[in-house]
Amino acid sequence: MRTIAGVDEAGRGALAGPVVAAAVLIALDRNLTAAADSKVLSAAARWSALAAIEAEAAGIGLGVVEPEEIDACNILQATFRAMALAVRALPCPPDVVLVDGALAPPLPLPSRPIVRGDALIPVIGAASIVAKVHRDRVMAALDAVHPAYGFARHKGYGTAAHRAAVAAFGVCLVHRRTFAGIREHLPGGQGRLPLGG
């Protein structure tokens, strides 16, 4: 059986939390009925689609890269690492990997980047849903640990409310310290940590 994997990420542009990549594996002659670009779906629709993807896919892999590693390399390299981890987590290597975006990570497999792939290729759309749902779960858990920032609402992206919380409470341990919007709040490279880190 020849297989194909779609790969996408969630959280690349956020100011806090990890970047998460997902790889969804299907047989080359199959399609996914519930796949769509995660950005056009409501949260409830993503959850419903996730259940269908899990039922139809031959395998799902996840890759997570935390803020400390993002700061240590850069967001592009961290995203590539998350994608490679997701592909490696699949139950078997796919024959070809299709990646959302203009660039594909270095992989020991045939791979092809596809601009707007999450909207054009169902298996990439499926990966975008899996990555988004997983990252939303992570950010909800981080919201319970750091409630001052509203992570459950904005998922760590640079909304006005998030930026105002950083200005008021300082930088916490899950913020990306090299990102504009966060690094300005790190005088002397130390930052002001809220109670509880």
Q: What pLDDT sits at residue 194?
A: 43
Give the angle 155-156-161 at the CA atoms, nearest 5°: 95
When comparing pLDDT for 180 and 38, which is higher?
180
Confidence label for 163 from pLDDT (cuts 50, 70 and 90): very high
Long-range (24+ apart) CB contacts under 8 A made by 193-196 are 194/146, 194/148, 194/169, 194/170, 196/145, 196/146
pLDDT category, 193, cuts 50, 70, 90? very low
Q: What is the pLDDT of residue 64?
A: 98
Q: Model confidence over 96-108: pLDDT tens digits?
A: 999 999 999 999 9
Asked if 26 contacts 57 with a C-beta cutoff of 8 angstroms, the reply is yes
Closest by Cα among 8, 112, 18, 11 to 60: 8
Q: Which among 67, 96, 83, 93 has a CA at the least distance from the CA of 127?
A: 83
- Tell me what pLDDT residue 196 has: 36
What is the rounded CA–CA span in Å between residue 36 and residue 196? 39
> For the chain, what are the domain ranges?
3-142, 147-189
Helix (H) or strand (E) holding 109, with range, is none
Find the angle CA(81)-CA(83)-CA(87) to the nearest 5 degrees: 115
Q: How confident is the model at residue 47 (pLDDT cuts 50, 70, 90)?
A: confident
pTM check: above 0.85: yes
Q: For residue 49, name the pLDDT band (cuts at 50, 70, 90).
A: confident
Phi-psi region of 69 (alpha: psi -120 to 50; beta: other; left: phi over 0): alpha
Beta bridge partners of 27: 3
User: Which class for 20: exposed (0-12), middle (13-18), buried (19 or more C-beta within 10 A)?
Assistant: buried
CATH number of 3-142: 3.30.420.10
**More confident call, 35 vs 50:** 50
What proportion of the chain, given as a percentage, has pLDDT over 70?
Answer: 90
